[in-house]
């Protein structure tokens, strides 16, 4: 357990450097993995024959080719996968930038299977590298620093002398729990309360430390603790040493600050210069990450979250001849065809475009032919 904990800690520290996040680095790692496979093909084949009595061609067919295809696909599509994904907006957010930004997801452990030790172990590794995770080569265990978020700049609340419009705490037990969280900190704004009505005014606390009561649990109340840091770097470090929150609210006029917080922290959601409005957009998934929650919902994301995305492949029975290459004996000729059929990527979108152009051209030719025929008929009739 001590060795495992030490390994995980080292991997998280490595992730803290940010080295595994740039796309160029990820692609280089994938290319290195592909080179490893190429250079060690003979060693892999010998080990597979010794352990599982698989021929060299069978190892290529069932273990290596699919892995090469995964790497090729990841390298060619990584920029597209990692790019921000714009979504539809409502009138409330029409002038805002709204998008989904993919980011590395938590700590991952990959456990291989003895029957397909290369394919089942290294193919998930391809996805982990592509996603920007740190890797631990111990049963190919992959680790990533658990990043956490806090607010960079905090809005101020106005004290309320009339509080009839403010909400109430659900019961006295939670009222007392929340009030107890303010102990040991200094009131900056607010602090008014009425236990008989379970009312707590919006309250801002200063002189808060990481060890303060209010920092030890989720507040679930109108209490806002302020922790002073010496610059953005220290703020990000403070965030990343704690659990990931449900949402990160950044208040800054600097686009550079906002982009850096997005790049170097992790949370269920992120909103810049506002609060809560992301919840109003159905095309943005709502949910936590790690300690702040599992899963997401909103629109299609609710459907996908509560559905099994079933993979379906319907093949015609008269196509059985194509399968001959996967049956023994695994000859060099079969391997050659398998390489062509499995590694050649088909751009279906391009084929659809070509087909559409062909159809349009055929229709245009038909129209021209009909018009010419009509003119010829008119000439004959006049004659």
Q: What pLDDT, in 10s, does the model give residues 46-80?
A: 888 777 778 889 889 888 888 898 899 889 999 99
Query: Does residue 315 lie in a domain region?
Result: no
Let me know whether 134 and 176 are in one domain.
no
CB 267 within 8 A of CB 242: no
Let me know whether 106 and 187 are in one domain.
no
Query: Does residue 165 lie in a domain region?
Result: no
Let me know whether 130 and 185 are in one domain.
no
Site of tokens 């938590």: 106
pLDDT at 92 over 70: no
Which domain CATH number covers 296?
Answer: 3.40.309.10
Query: Does residue 358 lie in a domain region?
Result: yes
Query: Which of 305, 337, 369 is the last residue before a domain boundary?
Result: 305
Q: Which residues contact 347 (CB under 8 A, 6 or more apart)?
A: none
pLDDT at 93: 63
Q: Which residues contact 180 (CB under 8 A, 6 or more apart)?
A: 213
Let me know whether 72 and 126 are in one domain.
yes
Query: Does residue 149 lie in a domain region?
Result: no
CB 99 within 8 A of CB 272: no
pLDDT at 149: 19
pLDDT in tens, 274-325: 998 888 888 899 999 999 988 888 878 877 886 776 777 777 777 777 778 8
| Measured distance CA(205)–CA(191) in Å, rounded | 9
pTM above 0.85, yes or no: no
DSSP code, position 141: E
Closest CA to 88 of 356, 284, 359: 284
Let me know whether 138 and 177 are in one domain.
no
Dihedral (CA of 246, 251, 254, 257) sign: negative
CB 286 within 8 A of CB 101: no
Query: Does residue 166 lie in a domain region?
Result: no
pLDDT at 248 over 60: yes
Let me know whether 221 and 299 are in one domain.
yes
Residue 154: pLDDT band by 50, 70, 90 thresholds? very low
Which domain CATH number covers 95?
Answer: 3.40.605.10
Let me know whether 363 and 291 are in one domain.
no
**Could you tell me what percentage of the chain is helix, strand and coil, using 3-state DSSP and rounding each to the nearest 5?**
50, 10, 40
CB 175 within 8 A of CB 169: yes
C-beta pairs of 8-11 under 8 Å, 24+ apart in sequence: 8/107, 8/136, 8/143, 10/136, 11/134, 11/135, 11/136, 11/142, 11/143, 11/144, 11/145
Q: What angle do CA 200, 168, 228 make, to 5 degrees?
A: 40
Please report, in angstroms and rounded to a whole number, the separation of the first and last CA atoms in the chain. Answer: 101
Let me know whether 295 and 359 are in one domain.
no
pLDDT at 141: 33
Please give the tally of structural domains in the chain. 3
| Measured distance CA(301)–CA(286) in Å, rounded | 8
Closest CA to 103 of 230, 267, 228, 341: 267
Query: Does residue 56 lie in a domain region?
Result: yes
Let me know whether 181 and 84 are in one domain.
no
Q: Quick one: tokens of 20? A: 């595994």
For the chain, state the CA radius of gyration.
30
Query: Does residue 148 lie in a domain region?
Result: no
Let me know whether 297 and 361 are in one domain.
no
Query: Does residue 339 lie in a domain region?
Result: no
CB 169 within 8 A of CB 198: yes
Q: Which residues contact 346 (CB under 8 A, 6 or more apart)?
A: none
Lowest mean pLDDT across 198-207, 304-313, 359-368:
359-368
Q: Quick one: tokens of 346? A: 């088909």
| Measured distance CA(307)–CA(381) in Å, rounded | 67
pLDDT at 31: 92
Closest CA to 117 of 139, 89, 135: 139
Q: Quick one: tokens of 29? A: 């790692």
Let me know whether 118 and 42 are in one domain.
yes
Let me know whether 40 and 134 are in one domain.
yes
Q: In the Cβ-directed half-sphere of 74, how many Cα atoms lie within 13 Å?
A: 27
pLDDT at 152: 31
Q: What angle do CA 360, 364, 370 make, to 5 degrees?
A: 145
Domain range holding 380?
352-383
For residue 61, the SS3 value is helix
């Amino acid at each position: 357990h001590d060795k495992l904990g030490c390994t995980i800690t080292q991997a998280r520290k490595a992730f803290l450097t940010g080295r595994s996040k740039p796309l160029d680095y990820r692609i280089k790692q994938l290319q290195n993995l592909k080179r490893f496979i190429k250079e060690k093909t003979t060693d892999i084949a010998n080990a597979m024959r010794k352990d599982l009595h698989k021929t060299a061609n069978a190892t290529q067919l069932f273990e290596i080719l699919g892995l090469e295809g995964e790497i090729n696909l990841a390298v060619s599509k990584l920029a597209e996968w990692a790019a921000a994904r714009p979504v539809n907006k409502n009138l409330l957010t029409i002038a805002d930038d709204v998008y989904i930004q993919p980011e590395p997801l938590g700590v991952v452990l990959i456990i291989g299977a003895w029957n397909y030790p290369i394919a089942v172990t290294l193919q998930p590794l391809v996805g982990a590298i592509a996603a920007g995770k740190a890797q631990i080569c111990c049963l190919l265990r992959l680790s990533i620093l658990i990043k956490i978020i806090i607010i960079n700049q905090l809005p101020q609340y106005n004290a309320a002398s009339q509080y009839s419009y403010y909400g109430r705490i659900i019961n006295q037990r939670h009222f007392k729990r929340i009030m107890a969280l303010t102990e040991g900190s200094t009131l900056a704004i607010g602090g008014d309360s009425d236990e008989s009505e379970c009312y707590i005014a919006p309250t801002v606390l200063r002189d808060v430390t990481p060890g303060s009561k209010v920092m030890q649990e989720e507040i679930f109340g109108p209490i806002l603790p302020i922790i002073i840091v010496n610059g953005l770097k220290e703020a990000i470090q403070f965030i990343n040493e704690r659990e990931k929150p449900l949402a990160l609210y950044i208040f800054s006029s600097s686009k550079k600050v906002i982009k850096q917080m997005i790049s170097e922290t992790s949370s269920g959601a992120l909103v810049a210069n506002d609060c809560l409005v992301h919840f109003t957009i159905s095309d943005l998934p709502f949910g936590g990450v790690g300690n702040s929650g599992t899963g997401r919902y909103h629109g299609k994301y609710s459907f996908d979250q509560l559905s099994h995305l079933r993979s379906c492949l319907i093949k015609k029975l008269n196509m059985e001849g194509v399968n001959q290459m996967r049956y023994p004996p695994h000859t060099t000729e079969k391997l050659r065809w398998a390489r062509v059929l499995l590694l050649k990527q088909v751009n279906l979108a391009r084929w659809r475009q070509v087909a559409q152009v062909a159809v349009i051209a055929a229709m245009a030719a038909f129209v021209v032919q009909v018009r010419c025929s009509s003119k010829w008929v008119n000439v004959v009739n006049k004659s």
